[in-house]
Amino acid sequence: MSDTVNVRWVYPPNWDGNPPDKGGWRKATIQMTGISDGTGESEVVKLDISELRAVSGAAPYRTTIERLEWDVAGIDNIHLQWDRNPKETIVVLSGRGKRDYRPEGGLVDPGATGDATGDILLTSNSVAPGGSYNILMTVRLKD
């Protein structure tokens, strides 16, 4: 058995993974879900920013997290990181909650162009069989 995980695009709606020919988006929202067999996940890419296009049409080199909503059960915590060199912790989530980071400018990826990928990674720590998470994340794309 293995963990059952999914990433669903909320915005852009019904996105098929292919960037548009022109332009792009200012923001993206994804829903990440998982039910574990007890093995958990380690630095799994949940948001591959190379698949996205910012409003200019260019691939973003970093993101800013504007909002997070989460429900984590049977897992000590979920560790979100930016894929940088070294990895950069975004936030550690446990229990239930929601945060709007927009008033303080968002959680800004400190990386620069060429400093690894800037993708968003997820690690689940101390996972019980049947442990689960449901995370809704809105990011602003920076190019």
* Six token digits for residue 34: 């998982």
Q: For residue range 67-126, what is the model confidence (pLDDT) as tens digits?
A: 999 999 999 999 999 999 999 999 999 999 999 999 999 999 998 777 888 999 999 999
Structure tokens at 23: 């332009």
- For the chain, what is the mean pLDDT? 92
Q: How far apart are CA 19 and CA 52, in angstroms?
A: 6
Domain count, the chain: 1
- Structure confidence by residue, pLDDT tens digits, 12-50: 887 777 777 777 889 999 999 999 999 999 999 999 998
Among residues 45, 11, 44, the alpha carbon closest in space to that of 27 is found at: 11
Q: What is the CATH number of the domain that holds 106?
A: 2.60.120
* Reported pTM: 0.93
Domain that holds residue 123: 4-142
**pLDDT score at 1:** 60
What does the alpha-carbon distance between residue 23 and residue 21 come to, in Å, rounded to a whole number? 7
Pair 25, 141: CB distance under 8 Å: yes
Could you tell me if 10 and 29 are in contact, meaning their C-beta atoms sit under 8 angstroms apart? yes
Question: What is the rounded distance in angstroms from the CA atom of residue 33 to the CA atom of residue 135?
Answer: 6
